[in-house]
Amino acid sequence: MLKMIHIWLVLAVVLAACDAKNNRDLLPRATGAPGELLIVIDSAQWRGPLGDALREVFAAEVPGLPHDEEYFRLISAHPSGRIDLLTHMRNIIYVFTLDENAQGSRRIMSNFTPQSLENIRTDTTFFHTTARDVHSRGQVVMYLFGPNEEKLIRDLKTHASTLVGFFNNVERERLQENIARTKTTRPLTEFLEREYKISLRFPHGYVVADQQKDFVWFRRIETEVDKDIFVAIKPYESEYQLLPDSIVAWRDEVAKKYLYADPSNPISYVITEREVPFLPVTAKQTRLNDQYAMEIRGIWRTNNKSMGGPFAGVAVANPDNGMLYYIEGFTYSPSKAQREIMRELEAIVHTFKTVPGTVGGKESGKGK
């Protein structure tokens, strides 16, 4: 875990032109596409080991996709007055080290007070801070710094998953804010609350594809993209049900029963791809609505290998009502880049919560 920066250190950061921009409503809206990340760094450092470390972290390959795609599309810019338009981008990282006397680094350091720079020099745990709405509305800015390149590179490698996770969560939050404003799919949420005592929010275009007592499937079919969300439900009996192998086995059971590649041909059904060594199913512990959960991601395919694509799902138990839930997003979009499609599906999955009511003969808890 990254150490939380003290309030007095945050207050010490002086942002250029902040006096003219401290009213959020007067700021222009942030620009840039989802998944784009501007890195403002001295050009010499970008070409050297520090730039290599930044690319290794933020342009690493996204797990669970059938083709190589990077976490973020990186755009580098040397600090100068000529990058003003770029500083309105939605995601920005400013990078500098105190041992670098180049003009670009000095320009970034000028946004910090002498006390802040001294804290960077003496506090070995202090290597990053973040801010919002610095140059534009909806913008997130991260500052990465260190007394020298070697120390900052070590911090980047040590905390790589947390740093990437920060911007992944930011992008998810933006998607969820847009989803929350979608009125056309509110009947779907009301349907889930009424019939299953659970809640999910959807962007425009999703419809119910199938519903069973223990399963419900939503789908949005576009010209070249098929987006899918499903929820499976069963009694919660043991914490062993949240082990990755147990979740995958349950997923395969549900998929074989309900997810046909061709509804008119029940011989063709969906399974989890586990035969390709370089496309493994990965798992990690996570939180879903402040509840312990297990996330799995990987590749699905039909049993006859005619179709396939990425999936990401989360299993979570609600001890209050004795039920276990598995919520998954998957896509069939072979001709498209799939990082942002999966990011949208994961944003939907993470709107999941249970609502009060009777499920399986037990009373559902609030917002579990």
User: Strands, E, within 280-355: which ranges?
Assistant: 282-288, 291-302, 308-318, 323-332, 353-354
Length of the chain: 368
- The answer to whether the beta carbons of residues 61 and 167 sit under 8 Å apart is no
Chain segment 297-325, per-residue pLDDT in tens: 999 999 988 899 999 999 999 988 999 99
What is the residue-wise DSSP string for 42-54? -HHHHTSHHHHHH
**Residue 2's pLDDT band (cuts 50, 70, 90):** very low
Q: How far apart are CA 44 and CA 47, in angstroms?
A: 5
List, in sequence order, the alpha helices (H) in the chain.
7-12, 43-46, 49-58, 103-109, 114-122, 149-158, 160-180, 186-195, 244-258, 339-349
Eight-class DSSP state of 191 = H
Residue that wins the pLDDT comparison between 5 and 358: 358
Contacts of 354 (CB under 8 A, 6+ apart): 197, 198, 199, 318, 320, 321, 323, 325, 364, 365, 366, 367, 368
From its phi and psi, is residue 36 left (phi > 0), alpha (psi between -120 and 50) or beta?
beta
As assigned by CATH, the class of the 183-364 domain is alpha beta
Say how far apart CA 368 and CA 88 lie, in whole Å. 37
Note the pTM of the prediction, 2 decimals.
0.87
User: At residue 75, does pLDDT exceed 80?
Assistant: yes
Q: 313 and 296 in contact (C-beta within 8 Å)?
A: yes
DSSP string, 97-134: ETT--SHHHHHHHTTB-HHHHHHHHH-TT--EEEEESS
Residue with tokens 């905390």: 159
If you search the block for the tokens 């006390």, which residue do you land on?
115
Alpha carbon distance 87, 84 (integer Å): 5
- pLDDT, tens digit (0-9, with 9 covering 90-100), for 111-156: 888 888 888 888 888 899 999 999 899 999 999 999 999 999 999 9
Cα 269 to chain centroid distance, Å, stands at: 29
Write the pLDDT tens digit of every residue in 222-281: 989 999 999 999 999 999 999 999 999 999 999 999 997 566 666 888 999 998 888 899
Q: What is the mean pLDDT of residues 190-218?
A: 97
Torsion of CA 287, 289, 291, 295, to 10 degrees: -40
pLDDT at 263: 62
Span(s) in the chain for CATH 3.40.1000.10: 183-364
The token pair that represents 7 in the structure block: 């309030």
**pLDDT higher than threshold 80 for residue 205:** yes
Are the C-beta atoms of residues 28 and 88 closer than 8 Å to each other? yes
- The single-letter DSSP state of residue 174 is H
Q: Two tokens at 306?
A: 């005619």
Contacts of residue 213, Cβ cutoff 8 Å, sequence gap at least 6:
none
pLDDT in the model for residue 175:
97
